[in-house]
Structure 1
Amino acid sequence: MTKLEGSALQSALAQVPAWTFDAERHAIRRTLRFADFKAAFGFMTRTALEAERQNHHPEWFNVYHQVEILFSTHDAGGLTELDIAFARWVDATALAMGAR
């Protein structure tokens, strides 16, 4: 995987408008809010299984109904197409599970 830069980075970021670009870490992050802890943990469980399937693991943090996720590809030194694809999967899954 190649680190996204320049116009490729801007184009990729446009695909995930709900995510914030962290220039210092060359990563994207998003905070999701669910109805309660059970829903948040259910989302995390589904995401963990998908991460294992992809062999690509997010950094994340959970407090009660809130989940913060950060994607960056460590081997590439920053954001890659793999991160964008997984972020899009997260968006669709979170929406289906009632996140806001």
Structure 2
Amino acid sequence: MRDQKLAAENVRERMGTLTEWELSDDGLSIRRDFAFRDFAEAFGFMAECAVVAEKLNHHPEWFNVYRRVEVCLTTHDSGGLTARDFDLGLAMDRIAARRV
């Protein structure tokens, strides 16, 4: 089930599929900072990610200043990390790789 909170061992396993993401100390969220050439690249990244997030019905917590985008993913309804967090994280990694 995509919305079921993952067990700690599953989270550790899934962390290996992501690039540069960090697991929070409490194990309930993952975060990554992305850096781009300029604001337009950062905003383009966010726009492309927003389309994917909408399709997954999973919306990130994120913050943008100039060329930086900070992202935090968790599934609030499940009380922690689910497959959707990792699916969106992987998609963000792919999108960022095309833009750098």
Q: Provide TM-score, normalisation by structure 1.
A: 0.91
Which of the numbers 12, 22, 28 marks the counterpart of 1:10? 12
Structure 2 CA distance for aligned equivalents of residues 28 and 6 of structure 1: 13
SS of structure 2 residue aligned to 1:11? helix
Aligned partners of 2:8 and 2:27 also within 8 Å:
no
Structure 1 CA distance for aligned equivalents of residues 31 and 82 of structure 2: 14
Which of the numbers 43, 46, 54 marks the counterpart of 1:44? 46
C-alpha distance after superposition, 1:50-86 (max 9, x if no partner): 1111111000000000000111011110111110111
Matched, 1:80 2:75: no
**Structure 1 75/28 Cα, relative in aligned 2: closer, same or farther at 3 Å?**
same
Q: AA paired with 1:94?
A: A
Name the residue aligned to 1:63: 65
Structure 1, unmatched stretches of 5+, are none
Aligned partners of 2:19 and 2:93 also within 8 Å:
no
Structure 2 CA distance for aligned equivalents of residues 38 and 64 of structure 1: 8
Structure 2, unmatched stretches of 5+, are none
Matched, 1:20 2:19: no
1:17 offset after TM fit, Å?
Answer: 4.1
Structure 1 CA distance for aligned equivalents of residues 95 and 48 of structure 2: 8
